[in-house]
Chain A
């Protein structure tokens, strides 16, 4: 029977299937960070277990780290304690650890691919729901809980029922100013925040084939925002070009051998999915969200839908708009904003900074806007400097911060104040996500840049020339 990409990778990692239960699923690569791992190490030690394959686990500090003055001791004692615990646990168990200040440090889903740890056909987990990012390389990658982190540390396996399969095809050419982020937000708006629950998604079609690896990572990253367990894209020459020569990718004969396997990683003609959706690139415009989940998104030029035209409960919808202080029928264009956040595992890569700079170059940040520009890793910082983007950023009145998850989840000091409205390139617009009482509009780096210089929600196409 013809197999899907997902079947090929999943089935090759099943140690055994439990009768009327989950599969015992082998994990090739395991990322850990300071927030969801300490209790897993406590559990491991209280049971008297050890880390069975320390070389398969990789630690980086990101969620809780400051994005200024990283050379100074971390001020918040609780954050410092978590960072210390990660370093201590990694050292004790022989796990590679990229702490604050390490040249390889950065957001886990940025540094994994950057260093060639993420590979096609691999299974990758992390105690973080945006682990789906790594699916851009044709890996099966998804977020897990802390109990499962302990399982991986102590056995290199987790117990998972095999998800159902969904394919999303987007064909045609994207228009001016329409980015990977817009494609993802468009799909999520169509699917709603829970439409893909229980499924693993394969993205296929012209749009994903034409997309850069950074763009593919943005799309796969956001799979969880429609409830999907993860998303993946078949590896192609672009994938192999990206990986070749990176620090931890196979070399020499090992590379050739890996390539032989990777070239088998595609969905065969006639393979069946449980469900399939088709969308057209020409229907997608720059997107923006208006509510309190990522499914509440629309084209930036549209008006907020009326409750009567929305699927789901009216009370929940009205609660959401009430939190945002928006009304049904409002236009988003022209709404005054207070903050702009460029960064996160969704949009904190070099391409995102290039996009942002393409708009702010020769323009000035609006006076009413506070902007936090947070690269995803030190390598991204290096590249920003190598390409001279730092000068464009500074000349336009912006400041570049140091790498980390930052205001995406506001665990550190980067909190949007209560009531303030932020255009953010991150992944969640939940109530209080970016700080208690904060209000988030999710959008692409282009929409963020255009809004940052205009001071109001702005369609980037008005500032771009073809």
Chain B
């Protein structure tokens, strides 16, 4: 599925310092019954955003007006653990987020994000703490995520850290390409390879 190109993003951020946020929280299983990819923002963090009667939980960061419109989420360590449901990454994207920053991501969630146009940025635990502290001190503080130079910066203070992404995935994100474009281009090579498989 095509997505918008990612280049440099400067935005305020939602803080969610809880660790080990699993994909069942990001999108509970009972909301995975669609056969089309649309409107997954509605149930994004459903049970953390809403009470069982449907009223919003006002203290939850994603519900706070002060952060509204942020395109970045700064999450606690081991963000996105558990289920492989890509619906979790879709819900992040559909909620208007283009980047998740954390000191550690679960593997499948990270892959899924990269495949749908959400940039996962892994930073040191210390830098994650710096970002959380800055957001707590000033909810309107801005974070700049520079993909071409692979640097994330706290705009107000200039504190920054570089992040890792392989060249292939970086090019994909910068150009809005995906893996199927690549794989279809080497179809003959795959066909030849398939003939060598014993089963």
Point out residues on A near B: beta carbons under 8 Å. 15-16, 18-22, 24, 26, 28, 35-36, 38-39, 42-43, 47, 49, 53, 63-64, 76, 78-79, 81-82, 85, 119, 122, 127-129, 131, 143-148, 150-151, 154-161, 163, 193-194, 197-198, 224, 227, 229, 250, 257-258, 261, 293, 312-313, 315-316, 319, 409-411, 415, 418, 428, 430-433, 436-437
Instruction: Provide a sorted-by-A list of 29 A–B residue pairs whose CB atoms are within 8 angstroms.
Output: A18-B182, A24-B186, A26-B194, A39-B36, A39-B86, A42-B37, A43-B1, A47-B180, A63-B29, A63-B32, A76-B33, A78-B33, A119-B199, A128-B83, A129-B83, A145-B115, A158-B179, A197-B78, A197-B106, A224-B82, A319-B18, A409-B24, A410-B30, A411-B33, A428-B83, A431-B25, A432-B25, A436-B28, A437-B52
Q: Provide the bound-state CA to CA distance between A311 and B145, in Å.
A: 30
- Within 59-117 of B, Cβ neighbours of A (below 8 Å) are at 76-78, 81-87, 89, 104-108, 111-112, 115-116
With A18-B168, A229-B107 as contacts: A147 and B1 at CB distance below 8 Å? yes
**Contacts A20-B167, A78-B33, A145-B86; is A430 near B78 (CB within 8 Å)?**
no
Question: Could you tell me if B28 and A24 are in contact, using CB atoms closer than 8 angstroms?
Answer: no
Q: Separation in Å of the A413 CB from the closest CB of chain B?
A: 10
Contact in complex: A293, B22 (CB < 8 Å): yes
For A431, list chain B residues within 8 Å (CB).
Answer: 24-25, 47
Tell me, yes or no, whether B187 is within 8 Å of chain A by CB: yes
* B positions within 8 Å CB-CB of A: 1, 17-20, 22, 24-25, 28-30, 32-37, 47, 52, 76-78, 81-87, 89, 104-108, 111-112, 115-116, 166-169, 178-180, 182-184, 186-187, 189-190, 193-194, 197-199
User: In the complex, are the beta carbons of A148 and B29 less than 8 A apart?
Assistant: no
Q: Which B residue sits closest to A293, measured CB to CB?
A: B20
B32 touches A20 (CB 8 A): no
Q: State the Cβ distance, B40 to closest chain A Cβ, in Å.
A: 10
Q: Judging by beta carbons under 8 Å apart, are A20 and B168 in contact? A: yes
Q: Nearest CB to that of B169 among chain A residues?
A: A21
Are A312 and B199 touching (Cβ within 8 A)? no
Closest CB pairs A-B (n = 6): A21-B168, A145-B86, A143-B84, A78-B33, A147-B115, A38-B35
**Are A316 and B184 in contact, CB atoms less than 8 angstroms apart?**
no
Q: Please name all residues of chain A whose beta carbon is closer than 8 Å to the beta carbon of B82 when the two chains form the complex.
A: 129, 224, 428, 430
Report chain B residues within 8 Å CB of A319: 18
Chain B residues, CB < 8 A from A158: 179
Tell me which residues across on chain B come within 8 A of A128, comparing CB atoms.
Answer: 83-84
When the two chains form their complex, are residues A143 and B108 in contact, meaning their CB atoms are under 8 A apart?
yes
Which of B29, B85, B86, B189 touches A16 (beta carbons < 8 Å)? Answer: B189
| B33→A82 contact, CB < 8 A | yes
Q: Do residues A147 and B112 form an inter-chain contact, with CB atoms below 8 A?
A: yes
A129 proximity list for chain B (CB < 8 A)? 82-84, 108
Residues of B within 8 A of A163 (CB): 107
B59 to chain A, nearest CB (A): 13
Q: Tell me whether B184 and A49 are in contact (CB under 8 A).
A: yes
Known: A26-B194, A143-B108, A315-B17. A151 touches B180 (CB 8 A): yes
Q: Is the CB of B194 within 8 A of A198?
A: no
Instruction: Considering the complex, give the chain B residue whose CB is closest to the CB of A433.
Output: B24
Task: Output the nearest chain B residue to A405 by Cβ-Cβ distance.
Answer: B29
Q: A52 CA to B104 CA in the complex, in Å?
A: 36
Of chain B, the residue at the smallest CB distance from A150 is B180
Shortest Cβ distance from residue B34 to the other chain A in the assembled complex, whole angstroms: 8
B residues in contact with A122, CB < 8 Å:
199
The residue of chain B having its C-beta at the shortest distance from the C-beta of A199 within the complex is B107
How many Å lie between the Cα of A161 and that of B108 in the bound state?
12
Cross-chain contact A432 with B186 (CB below 8 angstroms): no
Q: Which residues of B contact A154 (CB under 8 A)?
A: 180, 183-184
Given contacts A193-B20, A193-B78, A432-B24, whether A156 and B36 have CB atoms under 8 Å apart is no
CA distance A198 to B108 in the complex (A): 10
Q: Which chain B positions have C-beta within 8 A of A85? A: 35
Least Cβ–Cβ distance between B3 and chain A, in angstroms? 10
Q: Given A147-B116, A312-B19, do A293 and B81 touch, yes or no (CB 8 Å)? A: yes
Smallest CB gap from B115: residue in A: A147
Residues from chain A with Cβ under 8 Å of B1 in the complex:
43, 147
Give bound CA distance, A106 to B83, whole Å: 19
Residues of A within 8 A of B36 (CB): 38-39, 42
Partner of A22, one of B30, B32, B89, B166: B166
Nearest B residue to A81, CB-CB: B35
Return the contact of B198 from the options A15, A81, A261 (Cβ within 8 A): A261
Give chain A nearest CB distance to B181 CB in angstroms: 9
Give chain A nearest CB distance to B192 CB in angstroms: 9
Let me know if B190 and A36 touch, CB within 8 A. Answer: no
User: A39-B36, A49-B184, A229-B107 given as contacts; is B84 within 8 A of A145 (CB)?
Assistant: yes
Q: Do A147 and B86 form a contact, CB below 8 Å, given A227-B81, A315-B17, A315-B18?
A: yes
A258 touches B184 (CB 8 A): no
Partner of B78, one of A47, A76, A224, A227: A227
Give A206 Cβ to nearest chain B Cβ, in Å: 30
